[in-house]
Structure 1
């Protein structure tokens, strides 16, 4: 099976679907933020067709008041347990994108995520710039995470990938797609990943709620104290506006 997957990747490269391997072929994911419930947009970013070609997503159905909570877990600052407590209390599903460091150091939290019904996604083993590594290295990075999560939790399938720092190119999209992954970007985010630059729960709350829109894929970093303390109110107030929180497995995949 492993060799068949490698052959499939080579075929993708030979077919010309992965030619952007230099620095100028790399993209940093960006989007026009939603405001007052309006639709977010990647129309001006230059990579919309590329995401569509390779089945990547950044929103769900923009006509349906559904939200998708996603967390990036590169390392632990002591907040993920509290986040899981809130999700359990509110009965909200989420996906946690994890790295190799997280797998090696946080086995108990991984087990809890799986036991409580959350998805665990791939954030690569060593958090590299995926646009600057070979197809073989991309596969190695993703396979290590998948195997590590399976060993820790028994989760055999891993369908979702979030590129480290949102950096990608056609090769990284094509190779990961051939390996069975859907690349998941986001339509709500703010600068929340700096543990030493936290500004209080209200700052997190206002940033998320100001961007709220139907079909939103919400990116939060689990190292943020602000996110942790704001999460319960975000959930409650989003629900009061008629939103439902869904698992990515429930999303009707909608490419850009």
Structure 2
């Protein structure tokens, strides 16, 4: 889960205007098939889990499948919940074992851990998932922050790195009022609707955190049902990885 600081992808995004998928400058998939009016709901989990029951209930009621990226620590703490997510038809992927910050915020090219340590962190996450019969092929880096080397290391483990699509503010739903970058749930909702009306969201990766600090009382996941209903009215369907 992104907790330190939201960097809204002012980095260059490299893509062919005719391409159906978009990869960022580091090699991560940040938008899927744009020829389809589909949105990919992405949920990540590490140290908080209070909203998972609500999110799963909304998805079940709407008959929507999402993609959940969980750390090894989360899986070990909540094995039954992890198995339930899988059994209900959602994608379950890796999000690192210990939720380490792999590379510097200030200097993206600078790794904060050795390449072996990063691969071990990803491998340990994959192992705890495999012990539950889950063998994913997509990886969401911890803090949603990475560089080309992290993407390469994940690929060597059979993982394609993905991230949220820039443009909405949903990934800032972890913030709380004491933080300088705090944004309310209503503001997040408005940002999503504004982006959709201006640019469309075909193939969009929309990240939501089903668990956030207790310091945030205004939980964005409680807006999920109304958000899905509005997007469905706008003609979107929802897909998983």
Q: Does 1:42 align with 2:3?
A: no
- Is contact 2:173-2:183 (8 Å) kept? no
- C-alpha distance after superposition, 1:161-203 (max 9, x if no partner): 1111222122211111111111111114431113667876534
SS of 1:128 mapped into structure 2: coil
- Is contact 1:122-1:160 (8 Å) kept? yes
Q: How many residues align?
A: 205
Aligned equivalents of 1:114, 1:142: Cα separation in 2: 19
SS of 1:158 mapped into structure 2: coil
**Aligned positions of 1:67-216 closer than 5 A:** 67-131=39-103, 132-151=112-131, 153-155=132-134, 157-187=135-165, 188-190=168-170, 191-194=172-175, 201-212=185-196, 213-216=201-204
Aligned equivalents of 2:211, 2:176: Cα separation in 1: 6
TM-score with structure 1 setting the length? 0.72
Structure with more of its chain in helix, by fraction: 1
TM-score with structure 2 setting the length? 0.76
Q: Does 1:59 align with 2:28?
A: no
Runs of at least 5 residues in structure 1 that lack an aligned partner in the other structure: 1-27, 33-40, 249-256
Structure exhibiting the larger radius of gyration computed from Cα positions: 1
Q: How far is the alpha carbon of 1:207 from its aligned partner?
A: 3.0
Aligned equivalents of 2:85, 2:176: Cα separation in 1: 22
Runs of at least 5 residues in structure 2 that lack an aligned partner in the other structure: 1-5, 16-22, 104-111, 213-217
Aligned equivalents of 1:243, 1:217: Cα separation in 2: 13
Aligned equivalents of 2:176, 2:79: Cα separation in 1: 22
Aligned equivalents of 2:81, 2:177: Cα separation in 1: 23
* Aligned-CA RMSD value: 2.5
